């Protein structure tokens, strides 16, 4: 009598085949997630880890543009209501060859805002003309603490 045939662990039983099929199904499902995200343009609703990695630029609550005789960015920020959710986004555009000047202007504004304790994000891109302005937005949601729902 063959000992491999009579052994419960010998050969390939239905358990091994089922485990292989389960692993294949898991891998197919896992590989389909990026394709589903690419088609919709948004991460799956239940996948909060992917959503955290993508920064959100909220609509502006207030805009700052330096004008002759106007307040400095620091004075303008001091006049705004302090809020821990607030993030100042500095947008700088430059034409061809003007990237160094755009970086310098954006860095000066960022330094001024950080000196007042404001969180700063800087976005620099090419455009038709050189321009620098700042947007104060509330990127983080406040939760009421009781049920954790956003206000």
The helix/strand count (H/E) of the chain reads as: 5, 4
pTM: 0.55
pLDDT at 145: 43
C-alpha closest to that of 89 among 115, 116, 60, 111: 60
Tell whether the model's pLDDT for residue 151 goes beyond 50.
Answer: no
The token pair that represents 90 in the structure block: 């500095």
Answer with the residue of higher pLDDT: 13 or 72. 72
Answer with the residue of higher pLDDT: 52 or 125. 125
pLDDT confidence band for 28 (50 / 70 / 90): confident
Task: State pLDDT tens for residues 33-88.
Answer: 776 666 666 655 555 554 444 556 677 788 899 899 989 998 998 888 877 778 88
The token pair that represents 63 in the structure block: 């805009």
pLDDT, the chain, mean: 76
Tell whether the model's pLDDT for residue 101 goes beyond 80.
Answer: yes
């Amino acid at each position: 009598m063959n000992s491999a045939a009579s052994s419960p662990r010998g050969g390939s039983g239905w358990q091994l085949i089922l485990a292989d099929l389960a692993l294949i199904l898991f891998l197919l499902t896992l590989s389909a997630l990026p394709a589903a995200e690419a088609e919709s343009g948004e991460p799956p609703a239940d996948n909060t880890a992917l959503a955290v990695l993508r920064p959100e630029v909220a609509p502006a609550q207030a805009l700052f543009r330096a004008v002759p005789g106007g307040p400095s960015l620091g004075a303008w920020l001091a006049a705004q209501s302090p809020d821990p959710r607030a993030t100042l986004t500095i947008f700088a555009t430059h034409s061809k060859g003007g990237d160094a000047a755009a970086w310098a202007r954006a860095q000066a504004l960022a330094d001024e805002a950080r000196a007042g304790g404001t969180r700063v994000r800087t976005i620099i891109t090419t455009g038709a003309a050189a321009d620098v302005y700042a947007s104060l937005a509330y990127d983080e949601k406040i939760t009421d603490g009781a049920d954790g729902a956003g206000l």
